């Protein structure tokens, strides 16, 4: 299990990288972009991919790992690594679901190197960050020498391990809305072992108005489809309701009919449907409780209490 032969190029700046990708495409080279390498390197070691050129983006890390908040929007550089995301003070306050998601991602060594951009481009439908992007209706910035485009989560994730990015583009940034006032977020998942990709994951955001009625509610599911699935529409009817614990039980009951997950050796389709209901309920309930507390951080540290 050793990587195949390739030529190596480590551009020093984004501009250089974009120019180079364009030229390499022109000259007929196949390329792979190396960010944290936590998904690409296993693929290379198993020789499931044999690009002509590996373009190592790690010299771009200083340029592409800034986190900025601009008028209720978060801009996260694509080379921001998981360990930076999990403890970033701005993200902790303004998008607490990211820190919550990070607790489920891989293990410490994976989080040392892996990047948010790499995770999104890998597009595993049971991965946590794609789920967060789908939940929050975030966008990614895809840049090439010739263009720069903002692509929504829905358009970005095409199918299993496939996105809308082209071979001359680099995913440079992720844009997410900040947590609206009166909101709570939650991500719940079941995995075979801690740190594994989820069998099913559910992410929710609940926004309450001043009367504690639902102002907005969002829900997205991972592990039940070829892409992370935004199912907010199916619970939109809740807007205006005053939630109770019972309401979340009732509104999630029918979610099982909404998804057609595949079976695999670790979990069959019926179990994934069961988890869809159980985890959606849990995520919505927690998000609601957090919205009521008006707290975004205080209570999310309790991972793994239920396996």
Partner 1 sequence: MNARQRRIEDPALLRGNIPFVADLHFAGMLEAVVVRSIYAHAMLDVVNVQPALESPGVKTVVTAMDLPSACGPIPMRLSPSSELEAALQYPLARDRVRFVGEPIAVIVAGSRYEAEDARPGVEVRYRPLTATTNVRQAMKNPVLFDTLDSNQVYQHRQYHRLVESKEPDPTLRQLHLSFSIQRHTAMPLETRGLVAVPEDGRITVYGATKVLHFNRRVLAGFLGLDVTAVRLVEVAVGGGFGVRGEFYPEDYLIPWLALRLQRPVRWIEDRLEHLQAANHSRQQEHEVDVSYDDTGRIYHLHDEIIVDTGAYIRTHGVTVPELTQGMLPGPYRWQEVDTQLRVVLTNKTPTGTYRGPGRFEGTFVRERVMDAIASTLHLDPLTVRQKNLLTVDTLPFSHGMQALGEEIVWDSGDYPLALAQAAHLMAKEEFPRRRAAASARGRRRGLGFAMFVEKSGLGPWEDCRVAVDADGRFTCWTGLSTLGQGTMTALTRILAETWGVSASQIRIVHGDTDQVPESHGTFASRATVMGGSAAFYSARTLKSRLQALAAPLLEAHPEDVILTDRGAEVTGVPTVAVSYKDLVEESVRQALPLDVTERFSASAMTYPYGVHGCELEVCPNTGMIQIVRYGVVYDVGRAVDRDLVKDQIVGGVAQGIGGALLEELAYDEQGQLVTGTLMDYLLPGFCDVPEIAVMITEVAPATSNPLGIKGAGEGGAVGVAPAIANALADALNAPPEAFTTLPLRPQDILRWSRMDQLPGKGAKR
Partner 2 sequence: MEIDLKERVSYTLQINDRTYAVEDVEPRLLLADVLRDFLGLTGTHLGCEHGACGACTVLADGRPIRSCLTLGVGAKGLALQTVEGLAPNDGPLSRLQDAFWEEHGLQCGFCTSGMLMTATFFLREHPKPSRKEIREALSGNLCRCTGYQNIVNAIERSAQDLGENYS
Q: Is 274 among the residues that bind partner 1 (CB under 8 A)?
A: yes
CB of 107 to partner 1, least distance (A): 9
For partner 2, which residue of 25, 41, 164, 262 counts as binding (CB under 8 A)? Answer: 41
Q: CA-CA distances (angstroms) from residue 69 to 77, 176, 186?
A: 12, 10, 21
Q: Is 112 among the residues that bind partner 2 (CB under 8 A)?
A: yes
Contact between 33 and 25 (Cβ < 8 Å):
no
Contacting partner 2 within 223-252 (CB under 8 A): none
C-alpha–C-alpha distance, residues 217 and 240, integer Å? 10
Contact between 195 and 162 (Cβ < 8 Å):
no
CB of 241 to partner 1, least distance (A): 23
Q: Using CB under 8 A as the criterion, what x/- string covers residues 196-215 for binding partner 1?
A: xx------------------
CB of 229 to partner 1, least distance (A): 19
DSSP conformation letters of 233-256: GGGGGGTT----HHHHHHHHGGGG
β-bridge mates for residue 140, sequence order = 151, 174
CB of 8 to partner 2, least distance (A): 3
**Alpha helices (H) in the chain, listed in sequence order:** 14-26, 40-45, 61-64, 82-86, 89-94, 96-102, 108-113, 116-122, 128-135, 153-156, 245-252, 269-293
CB of 111 to partner 2, least distance (A): 9
Name which of partner 2, partner 1, none residue 70 binds, using a CB cut-off of 5 to 8 Å depending on partner kind.
Answer: none
Contacting partner 2 within 154-193 (CB under 8 A): 193
Contacting partner 1 within 34-53 (CB under 8 A): 46-47
Residue recorded with tokens 């199918």: 159
For partner 1, which residue of 72, 155, 250, 306 counts as binding (CB under 8 A)? Answer: 306
C-alpha–C-alpha distance, residues 131 and 219, integer Å? 10
CB of 30 to partner 2, least distance (A): 13
Among 153, 176, 152, which residue's Cα sits nearest to residue 69? 176
Q: Is 83 among the residues that bind partner 2 (CB under 8 A)?
A: yes
β-bridge mates for residue 7, sequence order = 53
C-alpha–C-alpha distance, residues 63 and 26, integer Å? 26
- Which residues of the shown chain bind partner 1 in the complex (CB under 8 A)? 1-5, 46-47, 190, 192-197, 264-268, 270-271, 274-275, 278-279, 281-282, 304, 306-307
- Which residues of the shown chain bind partner 2 in the complex (CB under 8 A)? 1-10, 16, 19-20, 23-24, 34, 37-38, 41-42, 44-46, 53-54, 56, 58, 83, 106-110, 112-113, 193-195, 304
């Amino acid at each position: 299990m050793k990587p195949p032969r390739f030529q190596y190029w480590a551009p020093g700046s984004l501009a250089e990288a974009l120019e180079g990708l364009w030229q390499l495409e022109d000259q007929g080279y196949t390329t792979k972009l190396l960010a944290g390498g936590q998904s690409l390197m296993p693929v290379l070691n198993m020789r499931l991919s044999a690009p002509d050129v590996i373009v190592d983006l790690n010299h771009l890390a200083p340029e592409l790992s800034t986190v900025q908040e601009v008028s209720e929007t978060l801009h996260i550089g694509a080379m921001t690594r998981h360990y930076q995301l999990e403890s970033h003070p701005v993200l902790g306050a303004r998008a607490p679901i990211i820190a919550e998601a990070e607790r489920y991602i891989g293990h410490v060594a994976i989080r040392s190197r892996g990047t948010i951009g790499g995770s999104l481009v890998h597009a595993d439908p049971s991965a946590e960050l794609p789920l967060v992007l789908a939940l929050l209706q975030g966008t990614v910035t895809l840049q090439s020498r010739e263009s720069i485009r903002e692509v929504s989560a829905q358009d970005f994730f095409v199918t299993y391990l496939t996105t809308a990015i082209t071979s001359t583009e680099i995913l440079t940034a992720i844009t997410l809305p900040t947590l609206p006032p009166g909101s709570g977020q939650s991500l719940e998942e079941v995995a075979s072992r801690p740190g594994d990709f989820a069998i099913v994951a559910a992410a929710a955001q609940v926004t309450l108005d001043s009367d504690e009625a639902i102002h907005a509610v969002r829900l997205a599911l991972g592990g039940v489809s070829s892409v992370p699935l935004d199912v907010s529409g199916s619970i939109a009817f809740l807007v205006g309701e005053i939630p109770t614990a019972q309401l979340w039980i009732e509104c999630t009951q029918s979610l099982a009919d909404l998804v057609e997950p595949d079976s695999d050796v670790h979990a069959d389709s019926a179990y994934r449907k069961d988890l869809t209901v159980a985890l959606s309920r849990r995520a919505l309930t927690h998000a609601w409780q957090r919205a009521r507390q008006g707290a975004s951080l205080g209570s999310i540290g309790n991972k793994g209490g239920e396996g």
